[in-house]
């Protein structure tokens, strides 16, 4: 009898929150982005939802209720109008130039590629019904209009951390004194100069986004998205009315930040489930490395093989003196003068490698996905930041005590040898890494389960309008209380003016009486 009741309850739960139609829009072709984002769609399907994913990557093994709409396979360099550069040269460009040359143009171009893809156009031409639309928040705002097309709530998810543009739109506190804009590198973020730079860049990015980038995306909406119900909201309104944003951060590593209830931290989401394993050859290499392993990987976009010769030789001269095995993601098949302890591969299963207990240190570019993988597994980092949020991620690791920053221009045999030997042989870094790993995992729910709860919460509550800040409907003067402060200032100024006038008149009166008294006395 009890079993029957439990089974009935289970069926009711499945009926209530397990059978939603969900559109998951993650068309960006960066492998690192997909590694973080893919578990959301797969887990929603495993929980009984009918999930349709607009993506550039096919899953070899997925539930039958997981459906893929594949976008055309193009890299960012294909849509920015130029050939692929040596990404190491991007260490020279400012955050503003990075936006101008990569993010604005690349984001617009990728969005057009997605909307103009053959499968996507066929999909948009057919009738569908969805209970929720989830979009990646990464310069693809035209795709948000699909939530309006299907009359469904909109949820967003970032592969980076706190998003200043979104904070401004939904009236989440900015906290510019302690929270750095996501793609701005600051060596001393809490100094006066750092805070001024953070303020300026936040304003710069927001104004360009709102008054240039969003209108460009509005053009894509008109060109590629058919059958929109009138009136069509602006993309700014779509962003402002998003029901939920899942951000790839966690206060155990990132700066503690005040968030509205519909801004939820899910940092390390892709680490909640283990669905991969090491190839047998790498497993044996790692197992047999009795002195440990140095792991080198600069991510999916930065190619180690493009290192200048003198910097490559600096790495080789240091590595060949180590007793540890060195695993290095090296994209070129030709590698001259390779030391016996060096193992190269064009691609490395990074998550599984960092989980191996023999890893001693991770030489990285500081991308957030890889940094979180190192944190999760308690691995110290030596970071060489190149662009975007990489310096900020590594600065956090260095300030906490489990990482060291090696500026790209400082790469030479001496500095590299000192840092590698220091991090390998000093237990302080390993102990700090383990401490941060413990607190990163110490949560009431895993990151993936947290994401699932809030996504299903929004579905159950039909967009959860009550979670949104009512201040988002106020104008800037009202939200900042500027008009109130101005009124108080004017009132105070009037009172002070009146008091000054009264005191002046009183002094004149007393002065005149004193003069009159003197005249009478005389």
DSSP 462-518: TT-GGGS-GGGGS-HHHHTTHHHHHHHHHHHHHHHHHHHHHHHHHHHHHHHHHHHHH
Query: Same domain, yes or no, for 267 and 290?
Result: no
Point out which residues pair with 154 in neighbouring strands: 133
Tokens standing for 342? Answer: 């060096």
- So what's the pLDDT on residue 515? 66
Residue 90 counted as domain residue: yes
- So what's the pLDDT on residue 132? 98
Query: Same domain, yes or no, for 122 and 231?
Result: yes
Could you count the other beta carbons within 10 Å of the beta carbon of residue 128?
Answer: 13
Identify the helix (H) or strand (E) that includes residue 172. none
Residue 516 counted as domain residue: no
Query: Same domain, yes or no, for 56 and 136?
Result: yes
57: domain CATH number is 3.40.50.2000
Phi, then psi, of 359 in degrees rounded to 5: -70, 125
Q: What string of pLDDT tens digits covers the 522 residues of the chain? A: 444 544 444 444 444 445 899 999 999 988 899 999 999 999 999 999 999 999 999 998 899 999 999 999 877 777 776 677 778 888 888 999 999 888 999 999 999 999 999 999 999 999 999 999 999 999 999 999 999 999 999 999 999 988 999 999 999 999 999 999 999 999 999 999 999 999 999 999 999 999 999 999 999 999 999 889 999 999 999 999 999 999 999 999 999 999 999 999 999 999 988 777 899 999 999 999 999 999 999 988 888 988 999 999 999 999 999 999 999 999 988 888 899 999 999 999 999 999 999 999 999 999 999 999 999 999 999 999 999 899 999 999 999 999 999 999 999 999 999 999 999 999 999 999 999 999 999 999 999 999 999 999 999 999 999 999 999 988 888 888 999 999 999 999 999 999 999 999 988 887 776 666 666 666
Domain of residue 497: give its range: 474-507
Residue 7 counted as domain residue: no
Identify the three-state secondary structure at position 83: coil
Tokens standing for 377? Answer: 């597994």
Q: How far apart are CA 409 and CA 233, in angstroms?
A: 48
Residue 163's nearest CA partner among 183, 141, 188, 190 is 183
Per-position b or e across 388-423, b if 16+ CB within 10 A of its CB: bbbbbbbbbbeeeebbbbbebeebebeebbebbeeb
CA angle 176, 179, 182 (to 5 degrees): 110
In order of 115, 132, 304, 426, 480, the CA distances from 119 in angstroms are 9, 21, 35, 54, 45
Could you count the other beta carbons within 10 Å of the beta carbon of residue 461?
Answer: 13
Residue 515 counted as domain residue: no
Contacts of 309 (CB under 8 A, 6+ apart): none
Give the pTM. 0.90
Could you count the other beta carbons within 10 Å of the beta carbon of residue 252?
Answer: 20
* DSSP, res 467: G
Query: Same domain, yes or no, for 298 and 332?
Result: yes
Query: Same domain, yes or no, for 191 and 97?
Result: yes
The answer to whether the CB of 227 falls within 8 A of the CB of 208 is no
Residue 368 counted as domain residue: yes
Residue 13 counted as domain residue: no
Q: How far apart are CA 24 and CA 130, in angstroms?
A: 10
In order of 23, 114, 156, 254, the CA distances from 229 in angstroms are 18, 21, 22, 41
Q: How far apart are CA 258 and CA 408, in angstroms?
A: 34
Tokens standing for 246? Answer: 């899942």
Query: Same domain, yes or no, for 191 and 328?
Result: no
Residue 305 counted as domain residue: yes
Residue 125 counted as domain residue: yes
Q: How far apart are CA 49 and CA 36, in angstroms?
A: 20
The answer to whether the CB of 273 falls within 8 A of the CB of 376 is no
Q: How far apart are CA 326 and CA 289, in angstroms?
A: 10
Phi, then psi, of 482 in degrees rounded to 5: -60, -40
Query: Same domain, yes or no, for 332 and 450?
Result: no
Query: Same domain, yes or no, for 73 and 191?
Result: yes
Per the structure, how many domains does the chain have? 3
Tokens standing for 200? Answer: 């300026």
> Looking at 441, 461, 490, which one is the last position of a domain?
441
Query: Same domain, yes or no, for 245 and 391?
Result: no
Query: Same domain, yes or no, for 117 and 136?
Result: yes
Query: Same domain, yes or no, for 337 and 234?
Result: no
Query: Same domain, yes or no, for 88 and 151?
Result: yes
- So what's the pLDDT on residue 8? 45
The answer to whether the CB of 364 falls within 8 A of the CB of 381 is yes
């Amino acid at each position: 009898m009890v079993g029957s009741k439990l089974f009935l309850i289970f069926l009711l739960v499945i009926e209530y929150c397990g059978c939603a139609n969900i559109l998951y829009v993650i068309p960006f072709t960066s492998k690192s982005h997909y590694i973080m984002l893919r578990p959301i769609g797969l887990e929603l399907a495993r929980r009984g939802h009918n999930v349709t994913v607009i993506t550039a990557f096919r899953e070899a093994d997925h539930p039958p209720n997981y459906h893929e709409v594949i976008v055309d396979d193009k890299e960012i360099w294909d849509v920015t109008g130029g050939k692929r550069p040596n990404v190491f040269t991007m260490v020279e460009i400012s955050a503003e130039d990075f936006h101008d040359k990569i993010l604005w143009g690349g984001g617009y171009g990728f969005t057009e590629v997605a909307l103009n893809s053959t499968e996507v156009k066929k999909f948009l031409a057919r009738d569908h019904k969805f209970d929720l639309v989830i979009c990646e928040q990464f310069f693809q705002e035209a795709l948000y209009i699909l939530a309006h097309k299907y009359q469904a709530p909109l949820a967003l998810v970032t592969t980076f951390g706190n998003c200043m543009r979104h904070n401004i739109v939904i009236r989440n506190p900015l906290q510019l004194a302690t929270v750095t804009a996501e793609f701005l590198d600051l060596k001393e973020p809490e100094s006066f100069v750092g805070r001024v730079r953070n303020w300026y860049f936040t304003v710069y990015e927001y104004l360009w986004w709102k008054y240039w980038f969003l209108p460009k995306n509005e053009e894509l909406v008109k060109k590629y998205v058919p059958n929109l119900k009138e009136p069509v909201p602006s993309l700014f309104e779509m962003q402002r009315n998003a029901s939920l944003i899942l951000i790839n951060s966690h206060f155990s590593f990132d700066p503690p930040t005040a968030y509205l209830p519909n801004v939820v931290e899910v940092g390390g989401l892709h680490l909640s489930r283990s669905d991969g394993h090491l190839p047998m050859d790498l497993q044996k290499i790692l197992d047999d490395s009795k002195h440990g392993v140095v792991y080198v990987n600069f991510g999916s976009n930065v190619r180690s093989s493009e290192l200048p010769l003198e910097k490559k030789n600096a790495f080789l001269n240091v590595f060949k003196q180590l007793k540890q095995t060195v695993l290095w993601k090296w994209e070129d098949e030709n590698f001259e003068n390779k030391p016996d302890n060096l193992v190269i591969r064009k691609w490395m299963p990074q998550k599984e490698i960092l989980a191996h207990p023999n890893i001693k240190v991770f030489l990285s570019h500081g991308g957030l996905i890889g940094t979180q993988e190192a944190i999760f597994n308690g691995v110290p980092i030596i970071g060489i930041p190149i662009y975007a949020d990489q310096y900020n991620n590594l600065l956090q690791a260095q300030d906490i005590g489990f990482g060291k920053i090696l500026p790209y221009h400082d790469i030479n045999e001496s500095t590299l040898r000192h840092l590698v030997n220091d991090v390998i042989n000093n237990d302080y870094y390993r102990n700090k890494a383990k401490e941060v790993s413990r607190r990163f995992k110490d949560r009431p729910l895993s990151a993936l389960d947290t994401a699932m709860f809030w996504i299903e919460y929004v579905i159950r509550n039909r967009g959860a309008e009550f979670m949104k800040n009512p201040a988002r409907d106020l104008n800037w003067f009202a939200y900042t209380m500027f008009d109130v402060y101005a009124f108080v200032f004017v009132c105070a100024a009037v009172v002070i003016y009146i008091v000054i006038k009264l005191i002046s008149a009183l002094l004149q009166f007393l002065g005149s009486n004193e003069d009159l008294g003197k005249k009478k006395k005389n």
